[in-house]
Structure formats: structure tokens, C-alpha cells
Amino acid sequence: MVLKGYPRISETFISNEILLLESLGFTVRIVSMRKPREDFSHASVGRIRAEVVYLPEYILPALGRLAAANLRTLAARPRGYLRAAGLMLRHFIAAPKSATIKHLLQAGLLCQEALRPGESPHLHAHFAHSPTSVAMFAGLISGAPVSFTGHAKDVWTQNPARLAEKIGRAAFVVTCTMANVAYLQQLAPNGTPVFGVYHGIDLTLFDGQGARPAAGPPYRLLSVARLTAKKGLDTVLDALGLLAGQGVAFTYDLVGAGEDREALAGQAARLGIADRVRFHGALPHEQVLDLYRAAHAFVLGCRVLPNGDRDGVPNVVVEAMAMGVPVAATDVSALPELARHEETALTCPPDSAPALAGNILRLLTDPALRARLTGAAREAVAQEFDNAANTRRLAAIFAERAGSPPGSFAAGSTP
């Protein structure tokens, strides 16, 4: 399994998937394109048995290792390596980027250090951009079949022609929303099957048991998100500023790290709510659970960026619903696949602080609405976002499809 980084605190869905696949009898070897950048990880990572092979993140510091490994790979698999090198050159000529050369070198090293003699591996990449590029080159070199899981930014900001080429070279594609399924099926050049499988969450961890906070002010509001533009946290702060102006007593817990940390702190200060906003940074699940249990409402303001970047169904929305926390969110991208307005959540268009503020206030002050939404939301999560059930679906896809060459399935295969 080729990953951008491992472990990553924001990609618990991947580590949970690996752990569950191992419990179902799969042998997983992780190939990570960089070392971890956080100094802690969720407890579930420690239960994963998979060997981890780290590829060099940069060419020059590891040039000797990369050159030696690629020369050995060329000698052992000359035809495959020359096919991969030819594809790399075509891509580099079309769009000269050093990353294209790096991906081939990483693939050559992967074939030396992560593939074992006598094995018949299947290469699966998480994210359709660089991990899939490395896996595709490694598949051309080794002859191993390749598949990938597409998520959000990697799907929607990638050149459609390049993404279509990757789909065409894949044995199959998995993706985490039905909106993605429709888009990727349109791009598939040769009927490559595209399967929609939600990530899901661990319902034994996010069980929603225990006391809920007492109704009434001061209310505790919560967001868990990377501090980046597509999450719409600036809209959330604008909405909270409006609520403060209406005299609503609240505190706001914001969990996550990212490049917008200083800008968001400055915005909170300008709105006069800095003393109500707590920036927690990234936290492990155990601490986030305590915040879910204390929250009166969960808020997210996701938007589609000009370059197409967007969320799918954020796992944090699934977690909040499983914990019985009412959700106010936006109706963009795949969010309505779970956050259905007036059914499981209250939603509004992106970038509309007044509408978001109104929805938050309704969740805080209407107990009957809150009870109806949270009950329906927890039922929807149990039916559609149980990661154990969804990983069994994924395991069935691997068991049936892994090992098959690309283009070997009939067009229109049912996802």
C-alpha cells in the first residue's frame, strides 16, 4: 500500500483500513513516501503489524541510495524499467516537473526494497496524485497490478487527462463518495470499474454513550478540521461573530493545525470573540472524544476552492453524528450524502455566515429539532459509515479484483 506519509494524524481512516484488512487476513506492507511529521499518532496505529518501507522524500540527499537501487532494478527488470522510463519521459516533456523524475526513482527503489522474490503483490495507492504515480511506475516495472483510492483534492485538482490515464492503467479504482464515483466513471477511458466505499469510522470508539452537556448557555461549539481554506472556518468565525452580537453565550473549540492558524486567530480578534475561541492544535482521538462529549453543536463551513479542491464527506462530521452532536454544515460536494438538510443536519450554502449562524442557533435552542436530527444522524452513520462493514466491502473488492490486469473488466461494471 503506497501512501504519501505514514502515520498521519489526519488520515486515521487509512490506518483504520489497514488494521481492519489485517484482521481479515490480508498481509499489508506499507510504502510511505515520507517520514511522519507529527510527534504522536492515534493509539490504533500501534496495533498495525505491517512492515513500513520509507522512500526518500527528496532526491539529492538520497541520490546514492536511489541511483544504486534503480540500477539494480534496471538490471533485474530491464523491459519493465524501460517502459516506466519511457512513460516518465513523455510526462516530463508534456509538463517538466522534477517530481515526475522523483516518482520514477522512488518506484525503482520500491521494487528493490518493498517487493520480495517469489511474491505476487498487488500495489494499491491511497490518493490519486503522487502515491498513484509511484505505484503506476512500480507496476510497469514489476508487472504487478495496480489500483488506487481517490479522495478529494487529489481527484478534483488533478489534470483530468492525467487522471483518466491513471484510471485506464488501473485494475480498479476505489473512492470515498458517490459524487467522486460519478466523476471518475466519466473519466474512465476503458471501462475500469470504480467502486464507491465510504471510509466510515470505528463505531466502538465513537459510540455516543455517556451524558450529554446540559441544555442552555453557555453553549460549547466545536469544529475539528485542518486549518485550511476549503474547510470554511472563516465563515464559521463570521457566524459566531453574528451570534455574539445577538448576545448568545458560547465558547468555541477548534481542533486542528494548518496554514491558516494565524489568519483565523486574527479574524477572531477582529470580531471581538478571541476570548471565546480555543485553538487546540491537532489532538489524538482520546482527547477529541472528550470535546465531542462536551459539545452542544458541531460546525463546519466547507467550500469548493477556485482550483476545484473540496472535501468529500469529512470523517469528523461522521464522528460528530455518531457521538450524538447536532451538526451545522454547508451543502457542498458530497456532504449532502450524509448531512441532509432537516433530516440528519442543518445545512446551508457555503460562504453564508448569516445562514450558518441561524442554523447553529436553531440547533442550540430547539430541543425537539436537535433530538430528531441526532437520532436520524446516528442511524444513518450506523447504516452507511461503519468502518468494519465498509472495510469488509473493500476486502471483497481486493479478493475478487486484485491480481487482474487493467482493462480486463466489462464497461459498466456495477460499483
Position 165 pLDDT exceeds 60: yes
Q: What's the average model confidence in pLDDT over 324-331?
A: 98
Other C-beta atoms within 10 Å of 61: how many? 10
Position 134 pLDDT exceeds 80: yes
Q: pLDDT band for position 40 (50/70/90)?
A: low
* Cβ-proximal residues to 378 (8 Å cutoff; 6+ apart), any chain: 208, 321, 322, 324
For the domain bounded by 219-385, which CATH number is listed? 3.40.50.2000
- Per the prediction, the chain carries an average pLDDT of 93
Highest mean pLDDT among 39-53, 178-192, 196-210, 337-351: 337-351
Instruction: Write down the pLDDT at residue 2.
Output: 97
Q: What's the average model confidence in pLDDT over 22-27?
A: 92
Q: What's the average model confidence in pLDDT over 34-58?
A: 86
Q: What's the average model confidence in pLDDT over 349-354?
A: 98
Position 215 pLDDT exceeds 90: no
Q: What's the average model confidence in pLDDT over 357-370?
A: 97
Position 302 pLDDT exceeds 70: yes
Q: Alpha helix locations (H) across 114-177?
A: 130-142, 153-156, 160-169
Instruction: Write down the pLDDT at residue 111.
Output: 97
Q: Which sequence spans correspond to the domains of the chain?
A: 2-200+388-401, 219-385
Q: What's the average model confidence in pLDDT over 111-139?
A: 95
Q: How far apart are CA 231 and CA 205, in angstroms?
A: 24
Position 396 pLDDT exceeds 50: yes
Q: What's the average model confidence in pLDDT over 224-235?
A: 97
Position 322 pLDDT exceeds 50: yes
Q: What is the percentage of the chain residues whose pLDDT exceeds 90?
A: 84
**Residue 268 grid cell:** 477572531
Q: pLDDT band for position 57 (50/70/90)?
A: very high
Q: pLDDT band for position 351 (50/70/90)?
A: very high
Q: What is the percentage of the chain residues whose pLDDT exceeds 70?
A: 96
Instruction: Write down the pLDDT at residue 12.
Output: 81
> In degrees rounded to 5, what are phi and psi of residue 174?
-115, 145
Specify the range with the lowest mean pLDDT, choosing from 194-208, 289-303, 334-348: 194-208
Q: pLDDT band for position 406 (50/70/90)?
A: low
Pick the CATH number of 2-200+388-401 from 3.40.50.2000, 1.25.40.80, 3.30.390.10, 3.30.70.60: 3.40.50.2000
Position 278 pLDDT exceeds 70: yes
**Residue 204 grid cell:** 466502538
Instruction: Write down the pLDDT at residue 30.
Output: 96
For Cα atoms 239, 241, 245, give the angle at the middle one, nearest 5 degrees: 115
Q: pLDDT band for position 9 (50/70/90)?
A: confident
Name the residue with higher pLDDT: 62 or 211. 62
Q: pLDDT band for position 403 (50/70/90)?
A: low
Burial 232-257 (b: 16+ CB within 10 A, else e): bbbbbbbbbbbbbeeebebbbbbbbb
